[in-house]
Amino acid sequence: MKEALTGLFTNNASVATTILLLAFVIGTGLWLARFKVKGITIGSTWIIFVGIILSHFGMTGNPTLLHFVKEFGLILFVFSIGLQVGPGFFHSFRKGGVKMNLLAAMNILLAVAVTVVIASISSKDDLATMVGVMSGAVTNTPGLGAAQQAIIDTPGADAAVTSTLATGYAVAYPLGVLGVLFTVILLKALFKVNIPDEEKAVKAAEDTGEQARRMHVRIENPAIFGRRLSDVIKEFHEQFQVSRIMKGEDIQLPGPDTVLDEGDKLLIVCRQEDVDHIRIIFGEEIEMHVTDWRRMDKHYVARRIVVTKASLTGKKLRELHFRGAFGVNVTRIIRSGVELVAGPESFIQMGDILLCVGNEDAINKVAEKVGNHAEMLNRPNLVPIFLGIVVGVIFGSIPITFPGLPQPVKLGLAGGPLIIAILLGHFGPKYHITTYTTASANLMIREIGISLFLAAVGLGAGEGFVEAIVGGGYRWILYGVLITVIPVLITGIVGRLVCRLNFFQICGLISGSNTNPAVLAFAQNAYGSEYTSVNYATVYPLSMFLRVLAAQILVLVAVA
């Protein structure tokens, strides 16, 4: 009995021992995350440090199994993020994605510059070694792998350099996580960020984008007097929905054949960016509130119904004939928390919430047609997750060749699944793919993924950690901190002062451009906003690509 228990804790080759260590590291790390110092905690990052301590004392687990757990955990984490942000991803990209990616590229170039400067002034460490330190400092494992493979495939290069790269990576990695984390905290203090104010600013900014906005207008444009509503919409190509029309004292649900007359009042749901155009088409806004319509409108009600029939995924609203068959208008679609303007060509999917206006009995019939059984959404839909991961892994393994580089660049096991998840979340309904997962299931997968990733990193980094530091690796810790903090600090300051980014955008930018899921998890837990995820996903794919490319180029220059 005693020997069996002793072996369970000391037999690192055992699967049972590895699982035991992973569970202990995650449980202990999350327990420590509860404790705060002046209201601040590093959250799940504690998991890494518990893992380093155990592995320093020889409890490392099976290396092959740990490598699998690390990669699979990261895939689960980024894939759940991708599904969550997919519906609003391209909207956010149009609103500032180019600017965010330029800032991410600046962060990466600054890290490369700091690495080259350190290598040029250091008498003990060459550029090849510093590539390993840089990969750890920016927490980019694919970059390390690409650099090692480039050395192996370069004729005449010393293959032993690959082990030095790995050691530098392991020494710099923990503070690579902590350095970014504390820089985020420093930026919050430096700019005196007030989280509630930032949240209000984010919501105000969202209200000025493509999300739904009500407006009330009186028809004053002679060019549309006596014309059908469908003809006006077709001519001006605007994305808006006329929810109700008031002719004199009579309130109606407008249809395609509704004739527009001078003085008619319209309740319109549109994008904020289309408001000025709609004023030109119809006339100036009038002072009314939606409650005014409800008070005068005794026949119509507004209700939210939930699409719970998977067979409706990919259907266009015009195919469902809600207006013609039931006299019900769908004015908005709420998907993954994003409120979108509904139009005849809008696709719906399982899990969407439809804001409907019409007669109570008619809305009940529409609700019956789409399901409206919210309890059915409590069952997790795992098919798109695992099939999406299959496609993502394949996509991430496709080599991208660049002239002058001996090895093609790949997006890897994190970049590929993330991009596929975003595409599934955005385009899935159009191609009849149900991508809906419950919020609780998405959160559970995300937390399990990041916890497994951090535990595997910690258990893999601690062995030989102290020896490397004592043997001169302490320099690498200092170098790694410089490579981590200087670019992030400059990028954060430029983002805030020059580009006027809000704090959640900065958190997403920094964690995404450093390919650092631990910092993303910290920012979400500490500051209570999922908005960070959208920005993380916006910059992550390009950042991953540039990090891998930069590591390969630097190491090829070093061994040339």
State the CB neighbour count (10 A cutoff) for residue 120: 10
pLDDT at 398 over 50: yes
Q: What average pLDDT score do residues 136-162 get?
A: 68
Q: Could you give the percent of the chain with pLDDT greater than 70?
A: 78
Pick from 292, 450, 519: which is nearest to 506 by CA? 519
Specify the higher pLDDT residue, 485 or 549: 485
Instruction: Provide CB contacts within 8 A for 475, sequence distance 6+.
Output: 122, 124, 125
**Lowest-pLDDT range of 60-69, 70-79, 467-476:** 467-476
- Greatest alpha-carbon pair distance for the chain in Å reads 93
Specify the higher pLDDT residue, 521 or 50: 50
Question: Alpha carbon of 551 to those of 68, 150, 171, 473, 554: distances in Å?
Answer: 23, 9, 17, 20, 5
Q: Got the DSSP string for 10-53?
A: H-TT-HHHHHHHHHHHHHHHHHHTT--BTTB--GGGHHHHHHHH
**Lowest-pLDDT range of 36-40, 215-219, 517-521:** 36-40
Q: What average pLDDT score do residues 425-432 get?
A: 75
Q: Could you give the percent of the chain with pLDDT greater than 90?
A: 7
pLDDT at 214 over 80: no
pLDDT at 418 over 50: yes
pLDDT at 8 over 90: no
pLDDT digits (tens, 9 = 90+) for 154-195: 666 665 566 677 677 777 877 787 888 888 889 888 888 887
- Residue 237: predicted pLDDT: 57
Q: Which residue has the tokens 């394949």?
A: 394
pLDDT at 487 over 90: yes
Q: Got the DSSP string for 123-156?
A: SS--HHHHHHHHHHHTT-HHHHHHHHHHHHTSTT
pLDDT at 209 over 50: no
pLDDT digits (tens, 9 = 90+) for 276-305: 888 888 888 887 766 666 665 666 777 888
**Lowest-pLDDT range of 216-220, 247-251, 335-339:** 335-339
pLDDT at 103 over 80: yes
Per residue in 66-75, is it b (16+ CB within 10 Å) or e — as a string?
beebbbbbbb
pLDDT at 263 over 70: yes
pLDDT at 345 over 90: no
Q: What average pLDDT score do residues 104-126 get?
A: 88
pLDDT at 210 over 90: no
What value does the mean pLDDT of the chain take? 78
Q: What average pLDDT score do residues 145-149 get?
A: 66
Q: What average pLDDT score do residues 523-547 get?
A: 75
pLDDT at 121 over 70: yes
- Residue 477: predicted pLDDT: 84
Q: What average pLDDT score do residues 537-552 get?
A: 78
Question: Alpha carbon of 523 to those of 40, 200, 217, 499: distances in Å?
Answer: 11, 17, 42, 20
**Lowest-pLDDT range of 247-251, 367-371, 392-396:** 247-251
Q: Which strands, in side-by-side order, build the sheet including 240-247?
A: 212-218, 265-271, 240-247, 250-252
Question: Alpha carbon of 321 to those of 254, 255, 325, 366: distances in Å?
Answer: 14, 11, 6, 10
| Helices and strands per DSSP (H, E), number in the chain | 21, 10
**Lowest-pLDDT range of 13-17, 462-466, 500-504:** 462-466
Pick from 17, 111, 56, 65: which is nearest to 469 by CA? 56
Specify the higher pLDDT residue, 13 or 10: 13
In angstroms, the CA 414 to CA 376 distance is 31
Give strand pairing partners of 323: none
pLDDT band of 208, cuts 50, 70, 90: very low
- Residue 522: predicted pLDDT: 76
- Residue 203: predicted pLDDT: 64
Q: What average pLDDT score do residues 95-121 get?
A: 88
What pTM did the predictor assign? 0.63
